Structures are given as C-alpha cells and as structure tokens.
Amino acid sequence: MQRKLMAWGAVLAMLAVGVGAFGAHLLKPVISEEYMKVYETGVQYHLVHALGVILIALAVGQWGESTRLRWAGRLLIAGTILFSGSLYVLSISGIKVLGAITPIGGVCFIAGWLCLAVEAFSRSKEAS
C-alpha cells in the first residue's frame, strides 16, 4: 500500500507540474483571465493533494496499513481527479455545468483529510 500511494502521489505531482506548465505557456494567451484563474486553482489543489498522497504514504510507513489510511489516499486521488480535473475542463471548454462536479471533489478532499486526522488521533491515543 505504501509504495502504491507513493507512486500515485509522485505521478500526480508530476502531472500537476506538467499541467501547470501547459497552462502557463500554451493556455494563457488563448483563454480569458477569469478562466486562467480557474485553471490555476485546479493546479494549486492538484499539487497540494499530490503531496497529501505522499504524506499518507509516509504515514503508512510509520504506522502500518489501515483502512482509514487506504481511504484517505483513495479520497485524495479521487478528489484531485474530480476537483482539479473539472476545473481544467471547465477553463478550457467553458462548459459551466462541469462546475457542478467540482464540489464533489472538494468533499472527497475533506473526507480524505478527515480519515488521516482520525487515524492520527487514534494512533496518538494508543501511544498515550
């Protein structure tokens, strides 16, 4: 589980850098300033949550595998695809209905971080 999460986090981070460079160099002259901000928000959340997946992989190495950590990783990966992916497509296509998908990704982010927090709190009680 740790190696898979580390690999997913690294791939997501690599893609965030590539997507960010694509936006900065190729999209900026083509899309509106408003949509460029939407795109940049997607890149920011993408990179932060890629690092979050790597953090969860490190937690697995420290604490061992658990259902909560597995779900934390899955939810951050799903959130990245739904949240950032919908913002990328929205900013490029202008199809505003895609914005309805973005909050689902946000809920995945929140749930994933909650899973990590609950795991950390449960581990701290065990150590006490």
Residues 6+ apart with CB under 8 A from 96: 90
pLDDT tens per residue, range 68-89? 999 999 999 999 999 999 999 9
**Is-contact 52 112, C-beta < 8 A?**
yes
Q: Is 94 left (phi over 0), alpha (psi -120 to 50) or beta?
A: left
CA angle, residues 88, 32, 14, in degrees to nearest 5: 30
Q: What is the pTM of this model?
A: 0.94
* Predicted pLDDT at 66: 97
User: Which tokens belong to 52?
Assistant: 């979050």
pLDDT tens per residue, range 43-59? 999 999 999 999 999 99
Calculate the average pLDDT of the chain: 96
The domain limits of the chain are 1-127
Reply yes or no on whether the pLDDT at 125 is more than 90: no
Residue 125, classified by CB atoms within 10 Å of its CB into exposed (0-12), middle (13-18) or buried (19+), is: exposed
